[in-house]
Chain A
Amino acid sequence: MLRFSDAFAPSAVRVTSRAALAVSALVFVGSSAMAAAGSAHDSVLTILIRWAPLLLSGFLFNLLISVLSMAVGTLAGIPLGMMQLSSLRPLARLGYYLTQFFRNAPWLVLLFICVMLLPFEFRVAGLRIPFPDWVKAVVGFSLPAMANVSEILRGAVLSVPTGQWESAESLGFNRRQTMFQIILPQCIKRMLPPWMNLYSLITMSTVTASVVGVSEMLTMTAQVHAAEGSRPELLAPLYSFAMLCFFVYAYPIGKWTEYLERKYQVKD
């Protein structure tokens, strides 16, 4: 018996992606059709086309939040990870506890804390720096990002065989030189896939900012729904559209991550 996978083995990835797109399109079209049936209002497609620019601008806001959160999280996470690896015991302990705390706290709670407890503006030397909700949300997302980057860094450094440390030491490298010239360069490849996975998770979680009133895509989706008369049959297509946007953005990143994972695994 000829197996499907045998015939298409080299293009399995493409087949999968097509299948996934097909299913999401099916859900989308199906729910749109259901919403359109027996309705005297504008068709779902018309409504979506009308509001697409607004919804997409909301989506861009999600992406902006995700990129900023990841950038801040990475910039803060690398020193925190180095702290965990410090040869100074108390410093390493502190780094460990900070990492564990922010890794294990629910993201939504951290988000609430940042949005509700941070001031709406900072005063630095008579200068007023506004601190709007969406910036607070960025802080809220970058905290767990930071902790996860810290842990990714630690894991990558520990995954480098001890022989590397030993031979560097024998050649007279000090700890700092060993870390920066020998260990960390080897870690970048190992860190990239989990780092990209983390970015994907952060991107997915940016919609929770709607819960605290940041006007990102999900908030706008609700507003569009209200503007169109709050017809319940519009909800499925509207949310499908939101899912589709995220899917189109995150799916290639996910596939690329998988590819890198495989590539670097073989080399080890």
Chain B
Amino acid sequence: MQVIYDWFLAFYERTGINLSFIYDNFDRARIIKGFWLTIELSVITIALSIVVGVIGAWLKGARSGWVRHSVDAFISIFRNTPPLVQIYFFYFGLGFMLPRVMDPISGTMAPMVTNFQWAVLSLSLFAGAFNIEIFRSGMEAVPRAMVEAADSLGYTRSQIYWHVVLPLAFRNCLPALGNNLVNLVKTTNLAYAIAVPEMMYAAKQIWSDSSNVREMMIFLLFAYVFLVAILVYGLNWLERALRIPGYGQMGGR
């Protein structure tokens, strides 16, 4: 490994291209930590946003009008306000209202919810609001006749939901869901604004110290494109694995 580090240091001296996050131990540790934190943030928010989406879509089918309209209001608010302001609102606005608690490890008073947790919460709600609508339209795209057919075969309501509507709805909405999750991964870097040391934050610290803005920017672009590519690859795999021959494709020539 040392050979590689040395080579990049020499590369810097020779060309002026400063890839300090490779050859410098401290910078490397920072960027690796940031990279993993971005992945952690992405994975947790993806999972939570799907949970929000599923529950919200289910609640939107509720009998009570107030439940449905509350879900609609939730969606409207999160879709029509900037995610960055949402993060600020949660972290600064609500975070201030929560009591501080004793941290059992350090023994000092610490905020009850950390900035990382606030970022997870607000990003999950933001992406979740989109997921609700995506799941919902996926369910609506299941042909009415299919439900009627199952109904006349004697399926119960929940059997229809689990065996007919849900499997088809999930396939219907997979492309839109994929798009939203890709956006979510790209949006995780808003956590930068509340000092969550994810990849963007780490990169900013490095370019402040090593004044290699250009190099770090290019690295960031590649790193995010790489992460998005992995997600897209996984989603494509899922789409292929779930594909039903002849279903959902445009007919004809």
Interfacial residues, chain A to chain B (CB-CB below 8 A): 1, 3-5, 8, 15-17, 19-20, 22-24, 31, 34, 101, 104-109, 112-113, 116-117, 162, 200, 203-208, 210-211, 218, 232-233, 235-240, 242-243, 246-247, 250-251, 254
Contacts and interface: CB of A to CB of B under 8 A. Distances in A.
Contacts of B81: 204, 242-243, 246-247, 250
B80 A116 contact: no
Contact of B186 (A107, A112, A203): A107
Contacts of A246: 80-82, 85
A164 to B, nearest CB: 12
Contacts of B152: none
A19 B70 contact: yes
Nearest to A26: B73
Contact of A22 (B73, B217, B220): B73
Nearest to A34: B97
Given A112-B220, A236-B97, 16 more contacts: A16-B76, A17-B76, A19-B73, A23-B70, A23-B73, A104-B228, A108-B192, A109-B221, A204-B80, A210-B84, A211-B84, A218-B85, A232-B96, A235-B89, A251-B80, A254-B80
B92 A232 contact: yes
Interface stretch (B59-67, B112-120, B159-167): B59-67
Contacts of B96: 232-233, 235-236
Nearest to B65: A4
B17 interface: no
Nearest to B126: A204
Contacts of A15: 65, 69
Nearest to A255: B76
Given A4-B64, A108-B200, A243-B81, A16 B190 contact: no
B79 A23 contact: no
Interface in B185-209: 186-187, 189-190, 192-193, 200
B57 interface: no
A32 B228 CA distance: 40
A204 B82 contact: yes
Nearest to B133: A258
Determine chain B's interface SS by DSSP, over half rule.
Answer: helix
Contact residues on B (Cβ < 8 Å of other chain), bracket: 35 or more
Contacts of A105: 186, 221, 224-225
Nearest to B94: A236
A109 B220 contact: yes
B134 interface: no
B213 interface: yes
B76 A254 contact: yes
Interface in B65-105: 65-66, 68-70, 72-74, 76-77, 79-86, 88-89, 92-94, 96-97
30 contacts: A3-B63, A5-B65, A15-B69, A19-B72, A22-B73, A24-B77, A105-B186, A105-B225, A106-B187, A106-B189, A106-B200, A106-B224, A107-B186, A108-B190, A117-B213, A162-B253, A204-B82, A232-B96, A235-B92, A236-B93, A236-B94, A240-B89, A243-B77, A246-B81, A246-B85, A247-B76, A247-B81, A250-B80, A254-B79, A254-B80
Contacts of A240: 89, 93
A116 B85 contact: no
Contacts of B189: 106, 108-109
A204 B213 CA distance: 26
Contacts of A235: 88-89, 92-93, 96
